């Protein structure tokens, strides 16, 4: 089935998805002021999407014989809405890089289902990244 390296990368992805789903949800709750009002609803929506990604990756990892992690990557909230979005933009950039790596590894191993799953998730992450860049005026 899958190599240990691929299973480790899937667990890294699960850890990141748990991280951002919690991070974005808490930011949705804690974002204050005018800037907070602008991003609050979208942060909540994205948090739920990220939670779904984590579930899909965990199901795939289980199918491949791995055990999904229960430990999120370190969660960073930020103090202002702008700082929160800057943190989130960076998190999405890191996810994009990791997911491209996972797609490449899965293809090398002939695991087309995992590659396809991550291509779909990657599209979502790029959309989130674009939203955060747009809000920051980039």
CA distances from 106 to 8, 20, 45, 114 (A): 12, 23, 29, 6
pLDDT for the residue 128: 98
Contacts for 46 with CB less than 8 Å, ≥ 6 apart: 20, 24, 128, 131
56-106 pLDDT per residue, tens: 999 999 999 999 999 999 999 999 999 999 999 999 999 999 999 999 999
Q: Which parts of 47-131 are beta strand (E)?
A: none
16-54 pLDDT per residue, tens: 999 999 999 999 999 999 999 999 999 999 999 999 999
End-to-end CA distance of the chain: 42
CATH no., domain 4-135:
1.20.1260.10
Query: Do 122 and 103 form a contact (C-beta atoms < 8 A)?
Result: yes
- Report domain extents, the chain: 4-135
Eight-state DSSP code of residue 80: S
Q: What is the dihedral of CA 115, 50, 9, 123, to 10 degrees?
A: 30
pTM score > 0.85 for this model? yes
Task: Using alpha carbons only, give the angle 135, 53, 58 rounded to the nearest 5 degrees.
Answer: 150
- Is the confidence at residue 1, as pLDDT, over 80? no
**What is the C-alpha to C-alpha distance for residues 26 and 81, in angstroms, rounded to an integer?**
12
């Amino acid at each position: 089935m899958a190599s240990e390296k691929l299973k480790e990368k899937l667990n890294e992805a699960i850890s990141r998805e748990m991280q951002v789903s919690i991070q974005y949800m808490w930011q949705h709750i804690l974002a204050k002021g005018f800037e907070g009002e602008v991003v609050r609803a979208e942060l909540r929506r994205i948090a739920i999407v990220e939670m779904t990604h984590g579930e899909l990756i965990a199901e795939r990892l289980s199918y491949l014989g791995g055990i999904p992690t229960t430990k999120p990557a370190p969660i960073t909230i930020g103090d202002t809405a702008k700082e929160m979005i800057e943190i989130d933009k960076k998190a999405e950039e890191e996810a994009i890089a990791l997911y491209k790596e996972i797609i490449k590894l899965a293809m090398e191993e002939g695991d087309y289902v995992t590659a396809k799953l991550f291509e779909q998730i990657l599209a979502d992450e790029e959309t989130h990244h674009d939203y955060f860049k747009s809000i920051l005026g980039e």
